[in-house]
């Protein structure tokens, strides 16, 4: 029974890999005319959903290294979509926040994406989509936990 469950979950993961690659291609093409990248879009979305945050906090939400997030933030600052603000909780770590143009941009991008998505998978019911979200959230949580267990405090990996 466990083998069957593992096989079914593996089939889910086999669908996720090409979905991630192809959706990134589609999103990248839609963002290019606006001068944005997929990474920049992800940073804007985190700020829109969670409010001002430090670069490390944004990286944690995106499962990305701080250095990569910093490059996206620098590009977004240059374009006027985000700004750095003093962080009342820490003297040396600034908060990154959306500007008015950044908030309007991520709203426009999100609305456009949802409009296109609403026409996809027409043969799936709302209940099936809800179930898919639940399964993917659980897999993401458990795989993330497993990945974190592979690294000890000094960064060495372990075979498990």
Q: Tell me: pLDDT of 159 over 90.
A: no
pLDDT score, position 148 = 86
d(CA 114, CA 133): 16
Give the pLDDT confidence score for residue 150 in this predicted structure.
87
* Tens of pLDDT, residues 93-142: 899 999 999 999 999 999 999 999 999 999 999 999 999 999 999 999 99
Mean pLDDT of 54-77: 96
pLDDT tens digit sequence for 1-12: 578 999 999 999
Helices (H), 63-155: 66-79, 100-117, 126-149
The confidence band for 19, taking pLDDT boundaries of 50, 70 and 90, is very high
State the average pLDDT over residues 78-86.
Answer: 97
Q: Which of 16, 18, 12, 28 is nearest to 113 (CA)?
A: 28
This prediction has a pTM of 0.84
For residue 32, the 8-state DSSP code is: G
Structure token digits, residue 125: 């019911």
Candidates 88, 108, 90, 93; CA nearest to 44 is 108
Looking at residue 160, its pLDDT comes to 42
pLDDT value at position 154? 52
Structural domains in the chain, CATH included, are: 2-120 (1.10.10.10), 124-160 (no CATH)
Nearest-CA neighbor of 56 among 73, 80, 78?
A: 73
Contact partners, residue 159, CB within 8 Å, separation at least 6: none
Sign of the torsion angle spanned by Cα atoms 27, 33, 39, 45 = negative
The whole-number average pLDDT for the span 22-44 is 96
């Amino acid at each position: 029974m466990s083998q069957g469950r593992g096989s079914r979950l593996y089939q889910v993961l086999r669908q996720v890999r090409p979905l991630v690659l192809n959706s990134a291609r589609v999103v990248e093409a839609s963002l290019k005319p606006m001068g944005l990248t997929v990474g920049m879009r992800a940073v804007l979305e985190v700020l829109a959903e969670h409010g001002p945050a430090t670069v490390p906090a944004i990286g944690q939400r995106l499962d990305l290294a701080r250095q990569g997030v910093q490059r996206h933030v620098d590009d977004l600052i240059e374009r006027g979509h985000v700004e750095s603000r003093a962080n009342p909780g820490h003297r040396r770590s600034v908060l990154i926040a959306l500007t008015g143009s950044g908030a309007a941009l991520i709203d426009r991008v999100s609305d456009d994406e949802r409009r296109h998505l609403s026409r996809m998978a027409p043969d799936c019911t709302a209940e099936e989509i809800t179930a898919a979200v639940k399964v993917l959230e659980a897999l993401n949580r458990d795989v993330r936990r497993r990945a974190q267990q592979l690294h000890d405090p000094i960064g060495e990996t372990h075979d498990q």
